Structure 1
Amino acid sequence: MAIPALPTDIFLIVLKYIGVKDLMRLRQTCKDFLQITQLRSVWHELLQTEVIQRNIPIPRLAGRSLAVLTSRELESCLADALRLRKNWISPSPVPMHSFTFKIVDTPRSQVVSLTFLPARDHRWLISLALTTGGDRIFMLQCWDIMLDSPTCIARRMLSDFRGFRINTEPSHPAVMALRSSNGIEILGIDFSAGNPDSGFVTLQTLDNVDESLHVFSGSALLTKFGDMRLLLKTIENPDFSVELQNPSHNEQKECIDGIVTEKYAVVVRTVTLELYSLSSFRAESGARVIHPITSHTWQWRVDSVSMAYQPSWASEPPINILVRYASLFPWPVNALHHYVLPCDEAYDPRDDVAAHNKPYFTEPVLIRTFASPIRLFARWDMVLGAYGTALWIDSHTEDYFDHAVEGQRLAGTLFTTVEPGTAVVPLDEQGISATASMVYQVREDDSWVRIAIQEEEGKIAVGTSTAEITIFRYI
C-alpha cells in the first residue's frame, strides 16, 4: 500500500492534529507512513505540544538540550514524560524502584533536613542528620543517588551548627551557605573529589555574621536577627546590607519563607505577605531600610509555608503558596491551603519594580483547601515541587489502618496553572473542599520526619527518625 502522492509538508501539517496513539497506529500501516513518522520534526512538534506546553517534566535528559537530540531520542523523551506523568498523578502512584540506606550509623540519630539540589544533573541529595547521644553532633552530607547504592561524595561533621540554606540558583558555583557561631561559610561541592571529607569546598567566609539564614538565591542572602529584623546582603559585598522592614508593625514578625530575585523579594511572615522592590539594593545606594511596596495580611497566623513558581512560559510566573495555619494549641490546624500570588498584567519587566509597576497583585488568591489531619505530637512535613506537585506527610490513615494510634500518609496533589483574573475566595466561605489526589505511600508508625521531591526525575525522598532515607522512583 502506498500513500497518495502529496508533499511531505502536507502530511506533517496533518500530523499536528493527531495524538501520540493515533500516530503510532498510523506508522504501522505502511512503510511510507513509517518513514514520515520517524522524522525528527514530527517528534519535536509532539514533544512541544504534548509535554512542554503542558508543563510536564522530561526525565532522563541529564542536562542535554532538546536541540541536540535525534528523532529516536525525542520519541523516547516523549514516552518517558507521558509514562511518568500517568503514574505520578494516579490515585495510588506505584514506584518502579525504591531503596533505603542509612546515612549515620550512630544510635539516637535522625534526619532533620532533606533536599534535592536544584538541576545539576538531578542526581544529588543533601541530607542533615542529628545525633543526640551525648553531645549534639550534626552530619551534613551530599549523596549521589543515580544508582541503587547511593554514594556519599561530600560530608562534614558539625559540632557548632546554626543552620544552612541551599542556593536556589543552580548555575551558581556556591551550593549552600552554612552558619556557625563564627559567621557564615559559603560552600561549593567538588563532585569528583573522591574523598567525601574533602567534598565540601569553602569558597568564602563571612566573619562575625550573627544573623540566622533564611534564603540563599544566587549571590543574595536573606538573614534574620534575633529580634526578627531581616537583612538582605550579597556575598560579593557583605558589608553592604538593607533591612526589609514593614512599618505597619512596631515589632517585626517572624519570617518563614521568601523568594529573592534580582528585582524583587517576596517575603512570607507569620502575619503578612510582603513584596519589596530591590532596585535601590542592587544599586547599593539610597536608604538602608526598604519598606514593602505592597503587603497582605493573612487571615490567621501562619505556622508553615512552602513557595514555588508555577510552571509557565512567562518571565514572571505566578507563585504557588502552600500554607498551614497555626492554632491556639501547640499544634497546627488540620488543613492545608493552596494560594496563588497572581501576576499583574500591567507589569513592565523593562522598568524597576515599584508601587506603580509591580509583578504581582497584592492579595493572594485562595484556590483550594485540603483536609490534612495531624495527630497530637505526630511528625509531619510538606514541600512544593518545581512542576506544581504539593507533597505532604500527615496522619490521615483511617482508610488504611482504621483508628490506629500511629500511622502516616505520604499524600499530594497537582496544582494546575491558574488563569489571570481568578476571583479571590474568602477562607471562611470556602471550607475544606478538596482531598489529596495522590497517596504515594502509607506506613503504620510515625517514623517519617522529612520529605524532598524531584519532579524532573520522578523521585521522592523520605527521611526517618532513625537516620534512614528511602528513595522512591516513579519511572
Structure 2
Amino acid sequence: MAIPALPTDIILVIFKYISVKDLMKLRQTCKEFLEITQLRSVWHELLQSEVLQRNIPIPRLAGRDLETLTSKQLESCLADALRLRRNWIAPSPAPVRSSTFKTVNDPQSQVVAVVFLPGRGHRWLMSLTLTTADGHRTYTLQCWDLANSSACIARRALTVFRGFRINTDAVHAGIVALRSSIGIEIVEIDFLATDPDAAFVTLQVLEDVPESLLVFSTSTLLTKFDDTRRLHIRTTEHPEFSVELQNPSYIVQKECLDAIVCEKYAVVARTATLEFYSLSSFRTGTGARVIEPIAVHTWQWRLDSVSLAYQPSWDATPHGLEPPINILVRYASLFPWPVNALHHYVLPCDESYVARETIGANNRPYLTEPVVIRTFASPIRLFARWDMVLGAYGTALWIDSHTEDYFDHAVEGQRLAGTLFTVVEPGVEVVPLNDQGVSAAASMVYQVREDDGWIRIAVDEGEGKIAVGTSAAEITILEYI
C-alpha cells in the first residue's frame, strides 16, 4: 500500500470520526497507519470521547493519573472500559468470576450490610453480620480483601451497636464511623495488620453523642436521635458544636431515609419530604443552633425507601453548577409491604445559581421539585426481602420478587435486576406521577435465585463488581471484567 498522501495531523483529525473497532482494523493495513495509531494522542483523544465524555468508568486504573500513562496503557484502559460497559448493560450480564465466602460460621447469622470501600484501588468490602443466639444479638463488623481470596483483614465484634458509616470521600478511604456502647467511634483500618482483631484502630471517640449514624462525609457527621428522629450535623474537628436540621412544619420530625452532605449544603430525604439545607452558618460556627430548610418538596405518598446519588457527568460543574441528583424511590402502602414499583426522579440543578455567593433561599444549587423520569415494575411478595442501591455511574440495582419469567408462579424466588440512568439534560418537564404509570422494565437482570436468601446488595461500577449478602451469612462477589 502506498504511503498516505495526507499529513499526519489531518489523518489524526479523520481518526476522530472512526470507531475504535474500525481503527483497530485500519492499523493492520500498513506500517504507516500502525505507527500513527500507536501515538499517545490517538488513545488519549479516544479515551476522552468514547469513555470519559460518556460517563463510562475505567476499571483497573488503581488511582493512576491518566496523564502519566503511556500510549499502550491508555489503549488498555479504553479496551477495559468498553468491555466492562458492554457486559454491564447487557440484558443478562455474564460474570467473568464469581466467588462466595462465609462471614461467620454460625447457623443463626445473616449478613445485614455490605458496602465497598471507596478509593485504595477498590479492592476492599465492608460487611456487617448479625448473630442471634438465646435472645442475644452480636454484630460482627469485617473488612475483606477481595484481591486476596476475600481474606478478612479487619474484624470487630459488638454487643451494643447502632450502625456504621464509611467515609464517602475516597481521600479518607478506610475511615469508618461506628456507634458502639461508648459513643461514636472514628476508626481507621490498618491494612498492614497481621491480626484482623487488632486492625480497627480507634482514632477518636465522641462520648457525648448518643445518636445513630446516617452520613459520614470527609469530617462531617449527620446523626439522628432514634426516638425523636431529630437530625444533627457536626464535624469530627469540633464534635461539641452541633446544629439541628429541623423542618418547622412538623412537631415530631419525619424519619430520614437518606441524605447527601457536602461542604455547602445538605439534601435530606425523609419519608414525607425532600429538604434542602444551606450549611453556610454551620461551617462558620455562627447563627442559631437550628437550621431550617430553604426549600422543601412534599412527596405524593409516604416513602418506604429512597437512595440518593449525584448524577454522573464528565464535566460535572459547568458554569459552577452542581451535578443533578438521581433519586430512586419506593413508596409505602397502607399494608405491611411496599408498593410494587420503583420511581426514578432527578433533582435538577438551578441554572441561576451563583457558586461564589452564599447559598440561600434566593440562591439555590437545585430546583425545589424533583422530576419523574421513569417508573419501573418491581413487585415484592408479602414479607419478602428486598434491597436497592444507586451507583456512582448511574446504575440502579435492586432485589425484588419479579421471577415469573423464570420460576412461573413460585411462592419464593428473587431477582437481582437493574438499569442504567442516563444523564438528564436541564429543562426537563415535570411529569405528574399519577399521569405516568409504569413506563419501563429492568434493562439488566444479573442473577435470579429460587429462594429468598438475598438480603443486601452493594455495587462498585468503577471495577464492575456486585456484592450480595445472604441470610446464611454468606457474601457472593460477582465480577464483570
Structure 1 residue aligned with 2:325: 319
> 2:244 and 2:137 mapped to 1: Cα distance?
33
Q: Report 1:384-399 matches (<5 A).
A: 384-399=390-405
| Deviations 1:324-377, CA, capped at 9 Å, x for gaps | 011001111010000000000111111221111110000000000000000011
> 2:119 and 2:50 mapped to 1: Cα distance?
22
What SS does the corresponding residue of 1:38 show, helix, strand or coil? coil
Deviation at 1:173, TM superposition (A): 6.0
> 2:201 and 2:5 mapped to 1: Cα distance?
64
Q: Report 1:26-105 matches (<5 A).
A: 26-105=26-105
Q: Which runs of 5+ in 2 are unaligned?
A: none
Say if 1:406 and 1:173 are closer, same or farther in 2 by CA, change over 3 A.
closer
Structure 1 residue aligned with 2:440: 434
The one-letter code of the counterpart of 2:258 is: D
Matched, 1:349 2:351: no
> 1:314 and 1:27 mapped to 2: Cα distance?
34
| Deviations 1:31-76, CA, capped at 9 Å, x for gaps | 0000000101000000000000000011111111111111111111
Deviation at 1:4, TM superposition (A): 2.7
Judge conservation of contact 1:156–1:200 (CA < 8 Å) in 2: yes
Matched, 1:461 2:430: no
The one-letter code of the counterpart of 2:355 is: P
Structure 1 residue aligned with 2:299: 298
Judge conservation of contact 2:246–2:291 (CA < 8 Å) in 1: yes
Q: Report 1:353-368 matches (<5 A).
A: 353-368=359-374
Structure 1 residue aligned with 2:137: 136
Judge conservation of contact 2:117–2:173 (CA < 8 Å) in 1: no
> 1:420 and 1:77 mapped to 2: Cα distance?
31
The one-letter code of the counterpart of 2:248 is: P
Structure 2 residue aligned with 1:7: 7
Structure 2 residue aligned with 1:449: 455
> 1:467 and 1:258 mapped to 2: Cα distance?
28
Structure 1 residue aligned with 2:276: 275
In terms of mean alpha carbon deviation, does 160-169 or 46-55 score higher?
160-169
What SS does the corresponding residue of 1:382 show, helix, strand or coil? strand
Q: Report 1:186-335 matches (<5 A).
A: 186-225=186-225, 226-312=227-313, 313-315=315-317, 316-335=322-341
**1:382 aligns with one of 379, 382, 388:** 388
> 2:110 and 2:445 mapped to 1: Cα distance?
24
Matched, 1:472 2:478: yes
Deviation at 1:211, TM superposition (A): 1.2
> 2:21 and 2:329 mapped to 1: Cα distance?
40
What SS does the corresponding residue of 1:425 show, helix, strand or coil? coil
Structure 1 residue aligned with 2:109: 109
Deviation at 1:14, TM superposition (A): 1.3
How many residues matched?
A: 474
Please give the TM-score of this superposition, normalised by the length of structure 2: 0.97
Structure 2 residue aligned with 1:23: 23
> 2:219 and 2:109 mapped to 1: Cα distance?
33
> 2:426 and 2:108 mapped to 1: Cα distance?
50
Q: Structure 1 segments of 4 or more deviating over 2 A? A: 2-7
Judge conservation of contact 2:274–2:299 (CA < 8 Å) in 1: yes
What SS does the corresponding residue of 2:67 show, helix, strand or coil? helix
Say if 1:444 and 1:173 are closer, same or farther in 2 by CA, change over 3 A.
closer
Deviation at 1:432, TM superposition (A): 0.6
Deviation at 1:385, TM superposition (A): 0.4
Judge conservation of contact 1:174–1:186 (CA < 8 Å) in 2: no
What SS does the corresponding residue of 1:456 show, helix, strand or coil? coil
Deviation at 1:252, TM superposition (A): 1.1
What SS does the corresponding residue of 1:136 show, helix, strand or coil? strand
> 1:397 and 1:108 mapped to 2: Cα distance?
27
Deviation at 1:199, TM superposition (A): 1.1
What SS does the corresponding residue of 2:54 show, helix, strand or coil? coil
CA RMSD, Structure 1 to Structure 2 (Å): 1.0
Say if 1:173 and 1:367 are closer, same or farther in 2 by CA, change over 3 A.
closer
The one-letter code of the counterpart of 1:19 is: S
| Deviations 1:90-144, CA, capped at 9 Å, x for gaps | 1000001101101101221000000001122100100000111232111100001
Judge conservation of contact 1:181–1:210 (CA < 8 Å) in 2: no
Deviation at 1:314, TM superposition (A): 2.1
The one-letter code of the counterpart of 2:91 is: P
Deviation at 1:19, TM superposition (A): 1.1
In terms of mean alpha carbon deviation, does 158-167 or 401-410 score higher?
158-167
Please give the TM-score of this superposition, normalised by the length of structure 1: 0.98
